[in-house]
Structure 1
Amino acid sequence: MNKQLTFLTSVMLMSCLMAATPPPGKLAKPLPQPSVSQPNAIRPDPKPPVPKTPFINRQNMNLAVKPGDDFYQYANGEWLKKNLIPASKTSWGSLNVLREKSLDAMKSLLEEATQNTKKGRLYQMVGDFYASGMDSIAIEQKGFDPIKADLARVEQVHSKADVLNEIAYQRTQGNSMLFPFFVDQDSRNVTKYIGQFVQGGTTLPDRDYYLKNDPRSQKVREAYRDYLTKLFGLIGEQPSKASQNADLIMRLETALANAQMARVELRDPIKTYNKLTVADFSKQTPGINWSDLMPKMGIHGQDTVLVQNPAFYRSMDSLLTATSVEDMKTYMRWNLLKNAAPYLSNSFVNQNFAFNKVLSGQKELTPRWQRMSMLIDGSLGDLLGQLYVQQYFKPQAKQRILVLIDNLEASFKEHINALDWMSIDTKKRALTKLTSFKRKIGYPDKWKNYDGVTIRRDDFYGNMKAADKWWYKDNFNRFGKAVDRTEWGMTPPTVNAYYNPVKNEIAFPAAILQFPFFDAEADDAINYGGICAVIGHEMTHGFDDQGRQYDADGTLRDWWTTDDATNFKQRADKVKEQFFGFKVLDSLKVNGQLTLGENLADLGGLAIAYDAFKKTKQGQGKTEIDGFTPDQRFFLSWAQVWRRNILPETQAQQILVDPHAPTQYRCNGPLSNIDAWYKAFNVQPGQTMYKAPDQRIKVW
């Protein structure tokens, strides 16, 4: 679990890409390298070089499908047939393959560190953390002992004031109960940090799971109630009491879900920007004196806060008033249980997985070493990231990506200048924003050092909590400090990328700079259809329906003329309607409003990357490689990035919660609006993806 609390608009290289760390320097002591020879050993005959798989492999394509009918299947059909989803995964595609590669790399580094904990603090911390998490016998012997002290604290709660005080205390320990709170930039005053209250208090991935009565939602609720009952049983509750507790949690969380904004509403940065004085906030919630409570969370001297959804907090306050202390104690115990369950003994882990099987369809539990690798990446990511960068990231890749970003920026400038729907004044401001983008490639310029965190080889849960508490303290220590614009929102081993509007920055962690996105040996068509389309995607996020509301400094303010904003919305609405028309599962369709920002970024990024490609030597030529023209290779590269098989349960969940469209529509949706794609593959009227020239959507 990544502890970094930043507002990220990520490009979906999915399970999360697109859900969501020195210039190249060296650690004081490099990792030991495996020996390739020994004295007196007989050196074997050199093996002949293994032919490299072509960047566009016909064996992965379904050539029986016409490109104009379903380009995604044409480019990927055979790969999709041959690459079934592993039992421990919910999807399998290009991005999963890269993630597996990243996890394998982390495993190698962590296992090496466990054998070298005396080489320094970095090795000791990640090595002992990993060793503690892999010690399944010790974890099993402890059962739920690690949370007994917290459960005992809850038993000492006797009043509503005690309830609030305990929630505040648990927040300082890394447990977020009822109301999530963190510190981040004030989007209307981006040089300052401000405390931010957002809606929360529920467990299921989206409010609709509580509120809808379709068969899928009902099935999830039934499984959730069963999960509640069984976890309460595991800590000694009698079956009847555990069942009563489950009913109570369902009632409380359903009431909270009713008060939450829908995900589409949460995409509105104006609607969710509500600055209140602490005194006014307290007036809206008579049962909570925030001036008294905030210092107990370690927040001092702050007289204003941002409240994402004031109506939620008013409803939450009413619910607190109407709920008995004993019932709130049950709610707090549940929060402790659910947060800890994946990290306790097998009985808890297995019940957690049984519930998630219903949510996602995953058949087998993710291997322990992968769970531990991901946990350490989220908890101590800047330590593990240093090892990853030293071992796996080539410095020249960073320089190459910076050049590609320059090329994409030049292409985007041309696109903006050529717009026939935008005024000169707005164009000038758009160009200023574009040239103000901050670029982050590979890894941070400075690393977090996790001062004060003690990691022990014999205390897995304690290690996790020590990291949780450090992240909480690190976040709250932002108060009174200058905004740190060097801070990253992802770690180097992350296969993802993002645009952050309040910093006006684009970031590409080291792990994404690999094939199929990028390969130093690939022809330009491959890299421009891959990583350059991703770069263009992130740049376009600065000008999508959300990003366009932030200026060059990252400030949330309107810098558009009324006519230009109207012209943009008209074009964006066409993209929205196009994606609303894509049917995914039985009655489920793509939510064109929820996915609008990502779809605009895909369309803009692909168009910008293509025009940048046409300025390269290959793009201006006609030389075929493996039987494909340069333009064909560009679009095939784009398509193979998005190939993925996905379980229907996971797909249904992502339709509700993910701002990215399913990958086949991320591939095909933008292509049907790109004139050059029609020419490259001779797409004709009557073919499924064909759109008349005057119906093709052009925004950026």
Structure 2
Amino acid sequence: MIRLTHSSRLMATAALGALLLGMAPATGLAAKEKPVAPAAQTAAKPALGTFGFDATGMDKTVQPGDDFYAFANGTWAKNTPIPADKSNYGMFTALGDLSQERTRGILEAAKGDPNSMIGRAYAAYLDGAAVEAKGLAPIQPWLNKVRAVDKAGLAALLAEADRNGIQHFFGGYVGQDDKNPDVYIYSMGQSGLGMPDRDFYLKDNERNAKLQAAYVKHLENVLTLAGEKDAAARARAIYAFEKQIAAVHWDKNRSSDATEIYNKMTIAELTKAAPGFDWTTFIRGIGVKEDALLVAQPSAFTGEASLIAGAPIGVVRDMLLVRSLDGFADVLPDAVAQENFSFYSTALSGTPQMQERWKRAVDFTKDNMGEAVGKDYVAKYFPPETKAAMDVLVKNVLAALDTRIGNLTWMQPQTKVKAKKKLANFTTKIGYPDRWMDYSKLEIRADDLFGNALRSNQFAHDDNISRLGSPIRRWEWGMTPMEVNAYANFGMNEIVFPAAILQPPFFDPNADAAINYGGIGAVIGHEISHHFDDQGAKYDENGRLADWWTPADVAAFEAAGKALIAQYDAYEILPGEHLDGTFTLGENIGDLAGLTIAYDAYKKSLGGKSAPVIDGMTGDQRFFLGWAQVWRRNYREQNLSQRITTDTHSPSIQRAWVSRNLDAWYKAYQVKEGQKLYLAPKDRVRIW
């Protein structure tokens, strides 16, 4: 799952894509309110197994207390290959494939309709022969601009690059002001690296050395494809420049701290703090008319501005040439697309084969016109009954957290009142938006793939900038209905669940309630709890970054967080490569809290009755199997290593293992001291 914080959004593209739209606010539940009864199940068979769990994927030779993931999923893991066009494969990717196939059907039906925007976009991508025939001609005017730029014109060119969707030294977007969430503000963050994180440049180990060499070769190859001479030497110069940039960047833990990255300043103040770059021309060129900005990493901006001022203009030009071709690689000839894939997918993630063109065409159309596709998708694949059943689950999980807040021993009474108020103020969005994005100003042509990509980037950028000075768009979504994911948005005080994740194994209206609560119920709890994790807890009931906890609350919460950090720091994922418990803390809290809250909600849903035994398994055993099943995933080694550095989520095995902190798991599976996952009661982390 993802959390929409300033830092996570700043690590994405500066020009936001089409955002989806929202539902009505959820009603707050008092602690004593009775849980809603589960939706009545039909006689239809669940999609998986006899009760919603694929028992054939278990490995019962493993003791649950030694490796709960392997016990629940070991046979599946052993027998499930990773497809050649994927870096990992699991339940998320399986549903992603299903969503992709379904979307293909919608787009194939639209392809022959000249009046269909999504049909034209899809058809243009499928026409690979036309792309090859045009070569680099469509992007050549922009490349010539880059080749001709001097230091005096650099700021204006970078503003144009921003609108075109080309990565450069600084990323930005318009979002809510964290301390005044009823107002939009332009937020900026560090950028400028071609590899995913500063650690790839600065940490010396064998794996990074190989990636560095592969990246320099990639830079050389892209420059050669652009028609440049002396590409090898110029590639080395780009890498040396990027390594200097990496050295002034903040690390990922500091960049994830909502308090640290809230730095409001005017353009004049930024100019004084980061001299050597024409900030006024750049920011005005982006389209920002206001003077107030949020600058996530001020010292990095100071360092980058100095480096840009001191760098030879040729190195800056070469870096932008590479970023331009990489940024549009998927809509340029295969030689460019394959080169981009060879580094970013094969070298970094181990994926041996590029996706078929139709899959890339589906993704392109979804990524750029997601709501135009999504409207047809939900009409065909998201029945009203699924939304109604999700409403029930969400209410039960919200009620469970409300009760837990009331029973906390470490939280002060006055803070509990505020926490319950925040919970009651949640907005829950399920399935799809009730207002759809208007793409009428976006020109899409069936014979102009590159132009479609460029205009889509510009449309998204202009739409994002237009938020400034406008009312907050509380109806928008940050994902399309076809996304197999969910998110929490702190500024909106909302949780969001797209249609595509509301399917087996996460949710099946015909499955046993225990499986649904262990699956989507824990996902719901995960997203709710993000609003109370190490960063989300810094936002009040109105989505404002504010101090609303007492010092005693903060001390108790941080102590529990440190224990969870230590637990995850101890996991060695690959030889010599450990998890970073600090970096993954928010997601680990989400998993722990989500599972804990969902368990309470499941027990309450039984109405005081005992769950039936099914296939020899108790309700509690099935609940934890439902949790473990959604984390079935096999990784390529390169992908797993990259995730350790860049992903705030722990790998799937360790996500399944969070159950070792719940007393109910020990009782359900008779886990004993001496087993590998056993934790003494005093060492089990309990937060919510």
TM-score bucket (shorter structure): over 0.9
What letter is aligned with 2:79? K
1:548-587 paired onto structure 2 within 5 Å: 548-587=537-576
Q: Cα distance 1:7–1:517, how it changes in 2: closer, same or farther (>3 A)?
A: farther
Report the counterpart of residue 44 of structure 1 in structure 2: none
Q: Is the 8 A contact 1:9 1:500 kept in 2?
A: no
How far did residue 619 of structure 1 move? Answer: 7.6
Q: Is the 8 A contact 1:183 1:476 kept in 2?
A: yes
Report the counterpart of residue 442 of structure 1 in structure 2: 431
What letter is aligned with 1:66? Q
**Residues 1:195 and 2:192 aligned together:** no
User: Of 361, 378, 384, which residue of structure 2 is paired with 1:389?
Assistant: 378
- The Cα offsets for residues 101-136 of structure 1, whole Å up to 9 and x where unpaired, read as 111111111111103344xxxxx1111101110111
- The Cα offsets for residues 187-245 of structure 1, whole Å up to 9 and x where unpaired, read as 0010111111100011101111111220111111111111111111112223xx11122
How far did residue 328 of structure 1 move? Answer: 2.1
- The Cα offsets for residues 518-541 of structure 1, whole Å up to 9 and x where unpaired, read as 011112111101111000001110
Report the counterpart of residue 307 of structure 1 in structure 2: 295
How far did residue 9 of structure 1 move? Answer: 7.3
User: Of 55, 58, 72, which residue of structure 1 is paired with 2:69?
Assistant: 72
1:468-617 paired onto structure 2 within 5 Å: 468-617=457-606
1:600-639 paired onto structure 2 within 5 Å: 600-617=589-606, 620-639=609-628
Q: 2:47 and 2:329 mapped to 1: Cα distance?
A: 47
- The Cα offsets for residues 554-594 of structure 1, whole Å up to 9 and x where unpaired, read as 10011000011101111111111111111100001111001
Q: 2:48 and 2:595 mapped to 1: Cα distance?
A: 27
1:130-529 paired onto structure 2 within 5 Å: 130-157=122-149, 159-238=150-229, 241-300=230-289, 302-356=290-344, 357-529=346-518
Q: Cα distance 1:164–1:50, how it changes in 2: closer, same or farther (>3 A)?
A: closer
Secondary structure of 1:441's partner? strand
How far did residue 664 of structure 1 move? Answer: 0.5
Q: Is the 8 A contact 1:551 1:557 kept in 2?
A: yes
What letter is aligned with 2:143? L
How far did residue 291 of structure 1 move? Answer: 2.7
Q: Is the 8 A contact 1:60 1:78 kept in 2?
A: yes
How far did residue 545 of structure 1 move? Answer: 0.4
Question: Which region of structure 1 is more displaced relative to structure 2, 159-168 or 291-300?
Answer: 291-300
How far did residue 436 of structure 1 move? Answer: 0.8
Q: Is the 8 A contact 1:232 1:242 kept in 2?
A: yes
Q: 1:284 and 1:571 mapped to 2: Cα distance?
A: 37
Q: Is the 8 A contact 2:491 2:544 kept in 1?
A: yes
Task: Mark the runs of 5 or more structure 1 residues left unpaired by the alignment.
Answer: 11-19, 25-48, 119-123
Q: Cα distance 1:51–1:374, how it changes in 2: closer, same or farther (>3 A)?
A: closer
Q: 1:133 and 1:51 mapped to 2: Cα distance?
A: 34
Report the counterpart of residue 128 of structure 1 in structure 2: 120
Q: Is the 8 A contact 2:155 2:279 kept in 1?
A: no
1:3-22 paired onto structure 2 within 5 Å: 7=6, 21=20
Q: Is the 8 A contact 2:172 2:188 kept in 1?
A: yes
How far did residue 6 of structure 1 move? Answer: 7.1
Q: Is the 8 A contact 2:47 2:504 kept in 1?
A: no
Q: 1:128 and 1:286 mapped to 2: Cα distance?
A: 46
Q: 2:470 and 2:504 mapped to 1: Cα distance?
A: 40
Report the counterpart of residue 46 of structure 1 in structure 2: none
Q: 2:469 and 2:4 mapped to 1: Cα distance?
A: 17
Secondary structure of 2:661's partner? coil
TM-score normalized with structure 1 length: 0.91
Report the counterpart of residue 56 of structure 1 in structure 2: 53
Q: Is the 8 A contact 2:57 2:73 kept in 1?
A: yes
Secondary structure of 1:672's partner? helix
Q: Is the 8 A contact 1:259 1:315 kept in 2?
A: yes
Task: Mark the runs of 5 or more structure 2 residues left unpaired by the alignment.
Answer: 10-18, 24-44
Q: Is the 8 A contact 2:427 2:495 kept in 1?
A: yes
TM-score normalized with structure 2 length: 0.92
What letter is aligned with 2:316? M
Report which structure shows greater RCO (CA 8 Å, sep ≥6).
Answer: 2
What letter is aligned with 2:243? T
Q: Cα distance 1:250–1:443, how it changes in 2: closer, same or farther (>3 A)?
A: same
Q: 2:53 and 2:173 mapped to 1: Cα distance?
A: 45
Count residues with an aligned counterpart: 656
Q: Is the 8 A contact 1:412 1:608 kept in 2?
A: yes
Q: 1:362 and 1:355 mapped to 2: Cα distance?
A: 10
Runs of 4+ with deviation above 3 angstroms: 4-10, 20-24, 49-53
How far did residue 22 of structure 1 move? Answer: 9.9
Q: Cα distance 1:381–1:539, how it changes in 2: closer, same or farther (>3 A)?
A: same
Report the counterpart of residue 111 of structure 1 in structure 2: 108
What letter is aligned with 2:132? E
The alignment yields a C-alpha RMSD, in angstroms, of 2.1
Q: Is the 8 A contact 1:619 1:631 kept in 2?
A: no
Q: Is the 8 A contact 2:20 2:476 kept in 1?
A: no
Report the counterpart of residue 14 of structure 2 in structure 1: none
What letter is aligned with 2:160? Y
Q: Is the 8 A contact 2:22 2:474 kept in 1?
A: no
How far did residue 346 of structure 1 move? Answer: 1.1
Q: Cα distance 1:7–1:272, how it changes in 2: closer, same or farther (>3 A)?
A: closer
Secondary structure of 2:328's partner? helix
Secondary structure of 2:477's partner? coil
Question: Which region of structure 1 is more displaced relative to structure 2, 291-300 or 414-423?
Answer: 291-300
Q: 2:81 and 2:55 mapped to 1: Cα distance?
A: 19
How far did residue 487 of structure 1 move? Answer: 0.8
Q: 1:429 and 1:643 mapped to 2: Cα distance?
A: 37
Secondary structure of 1:420's partner? coil
How far did residue 67 of structure 1 move? Answer: 1.0
How far did residue 88 of structure 1 move? Answer: 0.9
How far did residue 5 of structure 1 move? Answer: 8.8
Secondary structure of 2:598's partner? helix
Report the counterpart of residue 664 of structure 1 in structure 2: 653
Identity of aligned residues (%): 39
What letter is aligned with 1:498? Y
Q: Is the 8 A contact 2:84 2:353 kept in 1?
A: yes
Secondary structure of 2:682's partner? helix
- The Cα offsets for residues 20-49 of structure 1, whole Å up to 9 and x where unpaired, read as 94999xxxxxxxxxxxxxxxxxxxxxxxx9
